[in-house]
Structure 1
């Protein structure tokens, strides 16, 4: 006998409880439980609207000759995905409202359908009317090339897919799509999970490439369960704030290419435009002869990018000095300040210290440690560092400079942009090509680099 059971599900992590509770015991978030109706008892019901299965074959019998990536004509986007879009893949594009997700997808839809690959594209919007989509397309100078439908019911969307037979499907956004056989509201954990799973079956069963757009919470996570990121093949996030001119698109997961790749775009009246040389953009506004400004060569995925690290050291007015960092992990910054105090002997205990990465980039590579230490020392001593020097290296607790990866790429990028000297870890020096137009200085201690700056 079929019965309906009431449960309460956390909208943050998906934890289910038979009764409402204020704090989730799984993710420890408050006031995240929403009532849901589930069907129990009786025969199991197949809830899948699309079928996806295959026969058993040997791995050696599977041919990949017919698999050809779909190019979008936007080089930054193609490079993030590993050379183009893999057919039959499910791609999640996340970012805060107003950052440019819909704008980018409209441009990609036009490029795929009209200019480059000439594929059949269907754009599904659950947030705008057809007239609003047309107005935005006119502003972006997009005239024709793909199909558009304003719909939020998943069953109706699947019917449209059968009629149009698109090779690329864009869902904007997943938080507005719902299944009518589920009692929960659109955007809830159950709806987001079930709709995404259905789209996964559609992508693999019908060989359709699907883009899913998703909003993020104030903590920076996709609004909905984290299981959404496990279902999809690729996860892309916009990182920069919407009031910044430049948008940074990062790959956090990619089953068909490298992860942590970034693409830099500039928001203009004509939409998002790719920035082919981000290093020149991030260093273009750097002032001369200013203390606390240092350049490092950072690796994002497989691409070297030159970034400016800024530091400001001021006398504190309170008993406890303030430490702030933007673009760099706060705990890492506090650790490096402790190393400068203990190993170098800088008296920083009575000074407020602020560290920033120019351009809104977030650095996760520890190879920027040396540059951050030099920026703090430069600001503390009020001595400017030459604009022709680059610093690369991870700093250990003993003050040693540890080796980093992709050292050849970092040196080549520094040399290409006209820098004259680069400090690198001594462990990376032995296997390098020595004859270059840039002076390579191997170092093994932080103290030796600080002495060189005095």
Structure 2
């Protein structure tokens, strides 16, 4: 057994044999602390034999059902066994609520350990009582910040939730809790434990003011899945930053309620289109479409410079679409204020809804409601309505049927739709299809 001494930077984790006033790695002053460590050198006589890829045994992946379809979709079907999932978000956004709800759902069939490193037992119990009416005999709490004790307790459980990685520490280091070196050391131990004992972890993490995950980038590299939890009003959106078992294009949409996080059922869009300027559209995200309401208010301006007030949409996009309408429909929008907003959890930067944005402006300008209507296609700079891919058009039709859509405006006539999608004939037979090539054709169909 050999006892050595080394000094470690509490900011970046840089290790030196001697004490230094200034860290050569992060340039911070007076950050080196003594780190005593006993190195036990062991001889391993086991031979490591590489295997051909054809010799590796196939195994079926077991997946934990989180109880949330939105979360399962982001994870590639659910939480894969023997993996580590990192869930990061701002303070107060609902990370602990979502993890506790997920832990409860999984505990219906498996033993779950919930490590509450940031809170005590009473606080977690109070949140649990607010969220659920019944208790689970398979859900256990552990109030501890020592990674050694946590991993020792984890041996008897199928899946372990840790809240959070910045609140636990390793006694191997004398650096402050939450420091880069502590986070790196703890995640090292968790990864090694997970591989050796075939355990599954869900780890919560904080983000900085700039929106990055607090701690070393090494943290994201070592885990299998990285989920980013975002907030917009009452909505909570999960975006996938990394996923070894699924797509990174998927998102999950939740609504924060007094009973915790619930999946959005989109009932609030039933009124869309009843007033001029209100248009229902779908925003492509991953393998599905997210419904959004586009609202426009076009009103006569009494100032020298008409206002352009826009929420949730790229401002340049609205300016370009307004210019197209002025040029080809001869609307004098330069004399009008245009106020636009997106109702929903997402912000719009995609070109997929440009046609719908244009219709929203036209509808408000003409005071012409477009109830139970959907507008499918891309808008060119010459006001032409260009077709979208066949797969995406099919998705639009499937989603439209869920919202009782009665009119579809696109590049396809009803006969062309039946010919291209014979399996959807029964689903869309009661929908009226209007084929148009440009925005001018839209006014002809409306007889304006």
Per the shorter chain, which TM-score range? 0.7 to 0.9
CA distance in structure 2 between the aligned counterparts of 1:422 and 1:228, rounded to whole angstroms: 47
Contact 2:72 2:78 (C-alpha < 8 Å) held by counterparts = yes
> Which residue pairs with 2:44 in the alignment?
none
Counterparts in 2 of 1:287-306, with a 5 A limit?
288=274, 290-306=275-291
1:239 corresponds to which of 227, 230, 236: 230
State how many pairs are aligned.
418
Pairing 1:143–2:135 present: yes
Q: Structure 1 residues 332 and 72 mapped into 2: Cα distance closer, same or farther (>3 Å)?
A: same
CA distance in structure 2 between the aligned counterparts of 1:352 and 1:135, rounded to whole angstroms: 50
Contact 2:324 2:382 (C-alpha < 8 Å) held by counterparts = yes
CA distance in structure 1 between the aligned counterparts of 2:209 and 2:444, rounded to whole angstroms: 43
1:274 corresponds to which of 233, 243, 263: 263
CA-based RMSD = 3.8
Instruction: State the SS of the aligned residue for 2:80.
Output: coil
> Which residue pairs with 1:49 in the alignment?
none
Pairing 1:396–2:373 present: no
Q: Deviations over 1:393-424 (max 9, x none)?
A: 23233433344342101112212322112223
Pairing 1:213–2:213 present: no
CA distance in structure 2 between the aligned counterparts of 1:192 and 1:426, rounded to whole angstroms: 56
Q: Structure 1 residues 287 and 9 mapped into 2: Cα distance closer, same or farther (>3 Å)?
A: same
Pairing 1:108–2:102 present: yes
* Per-residue deviation, 1:230: 4.0
Pairing 1:171–2:162 present: yes
Q: TM-score, normalised by structure 2?
A: 0.79
* Per-residue deviation, 1:111: 1.9
* Per-residue deviation, 1:127: 1.4
1:408 corresponds to which of 378, 394, 397: 394
Contact 1:36 1:184 (C-alpha < 8 Å) held by counterparts = no
Q: Structure 1 residues 83 and 8 mapped into 2: Cα distance closer, same or farther (>3 Å)?
A: closer
1:256 corresponds to which of 245, 251, 263: 245
Counterparts in 2 of 1:13-412, with a 5 A limit?
18=24, 36-37=31-32, 56-113=50-107, 115=108, 118-141=109-132, 142-144=134-136, 145-161=138-154, 164-182=155-173, 184-225=175-216, 228-241=219-232, 243-244=233-234, 246-275=235-264, 278-279=265-266, 281-286=267-272, 288=274, 290-314=275-299, 321-349=306-334, 351-379=336-364, 381-405=365-389, 406-412=392-398
> Which residue pairs with 1:30 in the alignment?
none
Contact 1:305 1:413 (C-alpha < 8 Å) held by counterparts = no
Pairing 1:440–2:436 present: no
CA distance in structure 1 between the aligned counterparts of 2:402 and 2:100, rounded to whole angstroms: 35
Contact 2:23 2:31 (C-alpha < 8 Å) held by counterparts = no
Q: TM-score, normalised by structure 1?
A: 0.78
Q: Structure 1 residues 124 and 62 mapped into 2: Cα distance closer, same or farther (>3 Å)?
A: same
Q: Structure 1 residues 309 and 146 mapped into 2: Cα distance closer, same or farther (>3 Å)?
A: same
Structure possessing the higher radius of gyration over alpha carbons = 2
